[in-house]
Structure 1
Amino acid sequence: MKSIPHIDMSLYGQDFDAFAQHVGEGYETNGFVALTKHGIDQQLIDNALDISRELFALPEAVKKQYHIPGGGGARGYTPFGTEIAKDAKHVDLKEFWHVGREIDGEPPFPQLTPNVWPQELPEFKAKILKLYDALDALGLRVLEALAVYLKQPRDFFNDKVNLGNSILRPLHYPPIIDEGTPSVRAGAHEDINVLTLLVGSREPGLEVLAKDGSWIPVTIIEGAIICNVGDMLQRLTNGVLPSTTHRVVNPPAPYSHKSRYSIPFFLHFNPDVMITPLESCISEENPQRFEPISSHDYLMERLREIGLVK
């Protein structure tokens, strides 16, 4: 793997079966793909990145007003130096803000808690929710392709993610002052969720672990959205679709002296979905590797491992 495969999303409406094959093979081989011609307006992405820069430029004392102690970082602000990759010795060099699904009326699941919005930036809500909705819809198109690839009905995932506690995470990696720090911007990890879609980050740093044990820098064409398999989808597919280890390394100067901004969207199953390996992914060569577990129980188990839930 020299870089991750690029998937032309315009095939979705032109030749869906070919699209499903491309997506499935890309994920089965790498766990990571880059989505091109995805239909999300670049201006919408730029607006969200620009307002995120303004958010993280707010004074520390202002941002910390939006931190919810004991909330596991589910909504609002999580300060610099809080999150740590599973089994890592040093915290990640980042701060972030979590935006969840907006629900009208009584939420169907207690996990769908109200969002926290910074009063200092009245435009933040509208700009961020537009990106949330666009990435939520794009993720569902990718899941339609994967459903067909996995020999399930095309709409297999629709009622399993429509009320998922999916999270949009504006993310800031500040400039690295101490070049000798043992910490990295994001330690080697796998994502917990179903799919992750990533916008932003034109600076170098993101690397994917190849099957031969080497680290591959992710180089993508301008405007592409990186999309990778998370652990929940790996469990559902009995390991057929791998959740690939990745990291954000500290880049060389001059990049290390600047902030890095990105906005991942973590697409989740509805909290009550039982993640049970699909029969189409179980065989003599690949016997069942995972026990059934509800998506909420699995999420809580993993959040404890990375220090967001005590």
Structure 2
Amino acid sequence: MSLPNPDTAETFQVPAVDISSYTSERTIAARAETARQLDVACSTVGFIQVLGHGIPADVLVGLSDAVDAFFAMPLHLKKSYIVEGNRGYTPPKSESLSLSLGLESATRMNDFFEAFNVGTEAQSFAGLDLSEDDYGLNVWPDIANFRTNVEKYYVHASRVARTLTTVFADALNLPHDYFEYLTDHSVDVLRMNNYALPEGTVTLDGDLTGMGEHTDFGLVTVLWADQVPGLQVLGREGNWHDVQPIDGALLVNLGDLTARLTNDRWMSTLHRVKPPIIDGTIQRRRSVAFFHDGNIDATIATLPSHLDAADGLAYEPIVVRDHIKAKLAGSQQGKANTAAVREASRVLAASNGYGQA
């Protein structure tokens, strides 16, 4: 599979990798080739167009229907589902994702997306004495078939994420089940995003943005999204590039914890969402992100195979709970994350132009 040089802006693209060799019975050689392609994609771009994921079309239609039904509700009804923690409804302009990187110069609480979150609960893991303070309790809107449709997709997204970590293990020459000890009670969250200005808004104000530049917190993110402009990825050459899913693909990107494991050989790629403005108005865009973040009490340390003899550790070991807490304090509470020095420096060094290539 021929891939572009990631350092050449004109040829930037998100590689497509078919993972059907891991979702069906295939030969060892076929899986080895899939793992090789994924390793190239992870070490050059950090975003992947994943094909062969096996999610049925009717499940994706059900998810789309659920997203549309919830966000079509009046704002005052959606606000009745605001709860503490990383669950429930997030109104527009109540978060600033760039502050999760510690960028004090970022416009505070000016991301215009709205979201609804559900996720794995501590009570899902009987006998482990876990706290809902670390996980969160779901709230479900009173909409016909909403919970059923979302839960059907959640099961498949979880399967895809865990399939990918299996491919990760093979690509990194680790035991096939290496990631199981990091994910057997993983903090997983499904975030449904709606990018549309609030009712009655007809103009952009100041530096209003869809979602500020950020990296994802955990191991891997599985994203279903409309084929609508807006999502941008920061290339290694320092330019922002527009990215849309190709037909039949899910977009997948690595999170901070995978970058830590691989000493940044696999980078947690910075991304953002800019307003897709058409004829002076913002075109609506939807996305649904499944965040596979790892066990809340797991310690993430760089793999011995990825330690650099000259420079030593790129990161100090960190407990998943502490990492997520710091990132959420930035995005949701406006407290700059001072630990995200490496990620913030990449943003500050980047070109700020929209859609540069």
User: What is the TM-score with the length of structure 1 in the denominator?
Assistant: 0.93
Q: Compute the RMSD of aligned alpha carbons.
A: 1.9
Indicate the residue corresponding to 1:93 in structure 2: 112
Mapping of 1:195-214 within 5 angstroms?
A: 195-214=220-239
Alpha carbons 2:227, 2:246 under 8 Å: kept: no
Indicate the residue corresponding to 2:155 in structure 1: 133
The one of 31, 34, 55 aligned to 1:40 = 55
Q: What SS class does the counterpart of residue 261 from structure 1 fall into?
A: strand
Whichever residue aligns with residue 39 of structure 1, its letter is G
Indicate the residue corresponding to 2:3 in structure 1: none
Indicate the residue corresponding to 2:328 in structure 1: 303
Q: What SS class does the counterpart of residue 196 from structure 1 fall into?
A: strand
1 CA distance for matches of 2:87 and 2:290? Answer: 14
The one of 187, 207, 220 aligned to 1:165 = 187
Q: CA deviation at 1:286?
A: 5.5
Q: CA deviation at 1:42?
A: 2.3
2 CA distance for matches of 1:278 and 1:260? Answer: 38
Does 1:259 pair with 2:269? Answer: no
Between 1:108-117 and 1:141-150, the stretch displaced more is 108-117
Task: List per-residue Cα deviations over 1:168-203 (Å, max 9, x = no partner).
Answer: 011111147314541110111111111111102211
2 CA distance for matches of 1:148 and 1:308? Answer: 38
Whichever residue aligns with residue 120 of structure 2, its letter is R
Indicate the residue corresponding to 1:242 in structure 2: 267
Indicate the residue corresponding to 1:58 in structure 2: 73
Alpha carbons 1:23, 1:142 under 8 Å: kept: no
In the superposition, relative to structure 1, how do residues 180 and 29 fare at CA in structure 2: closer, same or farther (>3 Å)? same
Q: What SS class does the counterpart of residue 166 from structure 1 fall into?
A: strand
Q: CA deviation at 1:254?
A: 4.5
Indicate the residue corresponding to 1:7 in structure 2: 17
Whichever residue aligns with residue 129 of structure 1, its letter is E
1 CA distance for matches of 2:56 and 2:67? Answer: 17
Q: What SS class does the counterpart of residue 115 from structure 2 fall into?
A: strand
The one of 7, 17, 23 aligned to 2:38 = 23
Alpha carbons 2:221, 2:255 under 8 Å: kept: yes
Does 1:122 pair with 2:144? Answer: yes
2 CA distance for matches of 1:305 and 1:107? Answer: 32
Q: CA deviation at 1:112?
A: 3.0
Alpha carbons 1:150, 1:281 under 8 Å: kept: no
Task: List per-residue Cα deviations over 1:85-111 (Å, max 9, x = no partner).
Answer: 222214211111111115447573212
Q: CA deviation at 1:220?
A: 3.3
List runs of 5+ in structure 1 lacking aligned partners.
none
Indicate the residue corresponding to 2:167 in structure 1: 145
Q: CA deviation at 1:63?
A: 1.3
Number of equivalent positions? 306
Alpha carbons 1:300, 1:309 under 8 Å: kept: no
- Percent identical residues: 29
Q: What SS class does the counterpart of residue 53 from structure 1 fall into?
A: helix
Indicate the residue corresponding to 2:94 in structure 1: 82
Alpha carbons 2:227, 2:245 under 8 Å: kept: no
Indicate the residue corresponding to 2:245 in structure 1: 220
Does 1:287 pair with 2:297? Answer: no
User: What is the TM-score with the length of structure 2 in the denominator?
Assistant: 0.81
Alpha carbons 1:250, 1:256 under 8 Å: kept: no
Q: CA deviation at 1:162?
A: 2.7
Alpha carbons 1:9, 1:37 under 8 Å: kept: yes
Between 1:35-44 and 1:222-231, the stretch displaced more is 35-44
Whichever residue aligns with residue 70 of structure 2, its letter is L
In the superposition, relative to structure 1, how do residues 245 and 135 fare at CA in structure 2: closer, same or farther (>3 Å)? same
In the superposition, relative to structure 1, how do residues 256 and 32 fare at CA in structure 2: closer, same or farther (>3 Å)? farther
In the superposition, relative to structure 1, how do residues 308 and 156 fare at CA in structure 2: closer, same or farther (>3 Å)? farther
Task: List per-residue Cα deviations over 1:95-134 (Å, max 9, x = no partner).
Answer: 1111111544757321233211012x13111111111110
